[in-house]
Copies of this chain bind each other. A is one copy, B any other.
Amino acid sequence: MATRSKRAQAEKPADKPPEKPRYHHGDLRQALVDAAVELITEEGFSALTLREVARRAGVTHAAPYRHFADKEALLEAVSQQGFRAMAHEMRERMARVSGPLEQLSAAGVAYVLFAVRHPPHFRVMFGPHFTRPPKPDAAEEGANAFTLLVNCIEAGQAAGLLRAGESRRLTLTAWSLVHGLASLFVDRQLEEAVQGVEAAEALAVVQTRLLMEGLMRPEPGGNSDSR
């Protein structure tokens, strides 16, 4: 995972005081993003300080401004990487199963699991930390995960497995369910009931299955009005 080395190989023998005063950092931009995520994980959002981030990256307090216009721009980078990683994990898990319903379920579970495993990313992605509107490329990343869900739903409808009707309505149901579950995990509302990633995964599986049954082709018993 080492990026360009050049400076990374500094010490081989193990006796000297650790670090050479390297002037140019190999990949400071990414180091700052990582340090920010780490800092949020360890100390919470209120401790997220551009100066502390710089400190952890081993540079002085103004160095980040060579890579980010301001503190918010750093968070934008965190958010964008988060959206990309989430879409990646969803696609990865979807690729392990086949059939629209299985894939929809896999996407939902991956969505929840991403939040459980990367709470800082999830919070930055959806939290109240931005004052500027999202940049267009970031918005595109964000729409990516949503599109995955829409595609699953529409495939399910085309296969006659899911209720017909406006696909966006069903998609919103599915999205709300997984987003709500993810948010509740991240916001520590379920801590007493569920602990650990495995328990969270099991819960996500159960819930998405329940969702699937709810979204499936309605039973042949005349019931409610619609709309």
Contact = CB atoms under 8 A, between A and B. Distances in A.
A173 interface: yes
Contacts of A72: 46
A212 B69 CA distance: 48
Contacts of A227: 206
B129 A172 contact: no
Contacts of A203: 172
Contacts of A207: 169, 172-173, 176
What is the interface residue range for chain A against chain B? 35 or more
Contact of A173 (B44, B47, B177): B177
Contacts of A47: 131
A123 interface: yes
A17 B179 CA distance: 45
A80 interface: no
12 contacts: A44-B128, A45-B129, A46-B72, A47-B131, A126-B183, A169-B206, A170-B210, A172-B190, A173-B207, A176-B207, A179-B183, A209-B224
Interface of A: 44-47, 72, 123, 126-129, 131, 142, 168-170, 172-173, 175-184, 187, 189-190, 193, 203, 206-207, 209-211, 213-215, 218-219, 221, 223-224, 227
